[in-house]
């Protein structure tokens, strides 16, 4: 009897895990489709002079504590829609690309921020170089992180680390990389505030 109960329990757990994985995979596929659609629209908009542009490019040059001089290029891609509550067109942020070049430290980072239809985080991507502990020594590594969000709540992350972009392999998130992901998430709100300050 115990064996039958145990088998039934294991089948129920396995079915639950399978359903959860299927649901997660479906959400990831939906976000990837949203991302591809956004990339396609950006390429069409930037490549066709007859289509009005809805984007802003900001260049920022500043001194970062512990890093030195840095240059940032931030591209805001948005859409305008009439807001009945305020009685005017309002700009809503869809996607942001951000490249940071650290001049003294000679590093570079790249980030992408995709928002869902409700203006909540949907996808975050970053690629950067950093020094990580490897066999008792700190060595320069390339890191790539993808984070997926459902209604602004993170549900799946892929982290890859390697000596260069061609050698990236899946790796667990270290505390340092968790911090990078956390600060990336915080930028979703700051970038929306920046666009609102410029346009709305």
- Banded pLDDT at 135 (limits 50, 70, 90): confident
**What local confidence, expressed as pLDDT, does residue 3 receive?**
53
Q: Give the least confident one: 6-10, 91-95, 135-139, 149-153.
A: 6-10
**DSSP annotation string for 29-76:** HHHHHHHHHHHHHHHHHHH-TTSPP-EEEEEEEEEETTTEEEEEEEEE
pTM for the model: 0.83
Neighbouring CB atoms inside 10 A of 173's CB total 17
**High-pLDDT (> 70) share of the chain, %:** 86
Q: Is the pLDDT of residue 8 over 50?
A: no
Query: What backbone phi and psi angles, to 5 degrees, belong to 190?
Result: -65, -40
d(CA 155, CA 143): 20
d(CA 135, CA 51): 54
Looking at the DSSP bridge assignments, the partners of residue 138 are 133
Q: Is the pLDDT of residue 188 over 80?
A: yes
Q: Is the pLDDT of residue 17 over 50?
A: no
pLDDT in tens, 64-122: 776 678 889 999 999 887 676 767 777 889 999 999 888 766 678 999 999 999 999 99
Question: Is residue 158 packed enough to be buried (19+ CB in 10 Å), middle (13-18) or exposed (0-12)?
Answer: middle
Per-residue tokens: 107? 């590093």
Per-residue tokens: 171? 């790796």
pLDDT in tens, 25-46: 999 999 999 999 999 999 998 8
- Banded pLDDT at 63 (limits 50, 70, 90): confident
111 within 8 A of 123, measured Cβ to Cβ: no
- Please name the helix (run of DSSP H) or strand (run of DSSP E) that holds residue 121, with its range, or none: strand 121-134
């Amino acid at each position: 009897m115990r064996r039958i109960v145990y088998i039934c329990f294991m089948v129920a757990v396995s079915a639950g895990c399978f359903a959860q994985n299927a649901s997660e995979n479906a959400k990831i596929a939906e976000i990837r489709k949203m991302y591809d659609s956004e990339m396609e629209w950006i390429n069409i908009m930037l490549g066709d002079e007859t289509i009005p542009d809805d984007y802003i490019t900001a260049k920022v040059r500043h001194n970062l504590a512990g890093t030195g001089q840095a240059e940032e290029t931030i591209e805001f891609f948005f859409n305008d829609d009439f807001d009945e509550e305020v009685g005017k067109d309002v700009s809503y942020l869809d996607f942001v690309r951000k490249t940071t070049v650290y001049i003294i430290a000679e590093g570079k980072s790249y980030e992408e921020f995709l928002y869902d239809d409700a203006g909540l985080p949907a996808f975050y991507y970053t690629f950067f170089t950093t020094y990580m502990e490897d066999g008792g020594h700190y060595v320069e590594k390339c890191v790539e992180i993808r984070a997926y969000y459902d209604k602004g709540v993170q549900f799946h992350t892929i982290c890859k680390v390697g000596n260069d972009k061609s050698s990236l392999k899946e790796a667990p998130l270290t505390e340092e990389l968790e911090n990078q992901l956390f600060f990336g998430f915080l930028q979703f709100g700051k970038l929306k505030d920046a666009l609102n300050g410029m346009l709305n």
